[in-house]
């Protein structure tokens, strides 16, 4: 696949320790740390590199407990289900996976899930109705980016929703599966089909990218 570097960005979606076995009490995705080489490799084909990070407060209303376990419903317009607490600023879970650039080396950073009563999945909007922008779509368009190569955690949640949001905004999206890991095999299969059906290009590895 030919890539025009000046019009292409890479998007590292939530590549945080809180989604890996480094933090087993948060939301560990099996083999989550293994995405780093592919994320770094795809960044060699682009002009801009962007990252998103969950930044959740300990007061989040969706925090799971004994009475309200993970996956049980939450009341609220911008939350859906309870989750184990994860990616709290100042903790190991909030940090990027070892081997990724320092946060200051990225061209743009999205912090999401900051409000205690909001738990977005996609990185392009703070709310679940895709109304309150994080600014990343505008950033891409202002910088003449028309193609975004995506990878991150997890395939069947934040990666999928981010990709669908980018596609809806009119961007060409390439999903690099080598740079992704997911929670459930069936969920990932369905997510890949949905992303592809919505217009995303799916590649198995960075080796399929060629500069032009």
Of 97, 87, 7, 10, residue with least CA distance to 51:
10
Token pair of 81 as six digits: 């289900």
How many other C-beta atoms lie within 10 A of the C-beta of residue 52? 27
Mean pLDDT of the chain: 97
Fold entry, domain 2-55+96-211: Rossmann fold (3.40.50)
> Is residue 212 over pLDDT 80?
no
Of 93, 77, 84, 94, nearest to 62 (Cα)? 84
**Structural domain boundaries in the chain:** 2-55+96-211
Contact between 17 and 93 under an 8 Å Cβ cutoff? The reply is: yes
Share above pLDDT 70 across residues of the chain, in percent, rounded to a whole number: 100
What does the pLDDT look like over 95-109, one tens digit per residue?
999 999 999 999 999
- pTM for this model (two decimals): 0.97
Q: Please give the C-alpha separations between residue 95 and each of 35, 45, 101, 153, 210, in angstroms, as whole numbers.
A: 15, 25, 11, 14, 31
What is the mean pLDDT of the segment spanning 114-130? Answer: 98
pLDDT tens-digit series, residues 21-36 = 999 999 999 999 999 9
Q: How many CA atoms lie within 13 A of 25 on its CB side?
A: 7
The encoded tokens of residue 204 equal 């198995």
Q: pLDDT at position 1, please?
A: 82
């Amino acid at each position: 696949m030919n890539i025009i570097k000046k019009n292409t960005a890479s998007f590292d979606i939530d590549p945080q320790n809180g989604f890996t076995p480094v933090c087993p009490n948060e939301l560990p995705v099996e083999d989550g740390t293994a995405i780093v080489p592919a994320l770094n490799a795809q960044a060699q084909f682009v002009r801009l590199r962007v990252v998103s990070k969950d930044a959740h407060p300990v007061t989040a209303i969706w925090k799971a407990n004994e009475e309200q376990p993970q996956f049980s419903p939450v009341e609220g317009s911008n939350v859906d289900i309870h989750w184990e607490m994860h990616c709290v600023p100042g903790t190991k879970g909030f940090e990027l996976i070892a081997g990724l650039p320092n946060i200051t080396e990225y061209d743009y950073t999205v912090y999401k899930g900051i409000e205690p009563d909001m738990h977005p999945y996609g990185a392009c909007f703070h709310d679940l109705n895709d109304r309150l922008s994080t600014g990343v779509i505008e950033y891409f368009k202002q910088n003449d980016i028309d193609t975004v190569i995506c990878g991150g955690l997890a395939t069947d949640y934040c990666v999928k929703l981010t990709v669908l949001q980018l596609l809806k905004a009119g961007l060409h999206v390439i999903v690099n599966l080598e740079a992704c890991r997911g929670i459930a095999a069936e969920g990932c299969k369905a997510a890949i089909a949905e992303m592809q059906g919505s217009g995303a290009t799916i590649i198995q590895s960075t080796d399929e990218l060629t500069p032009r």
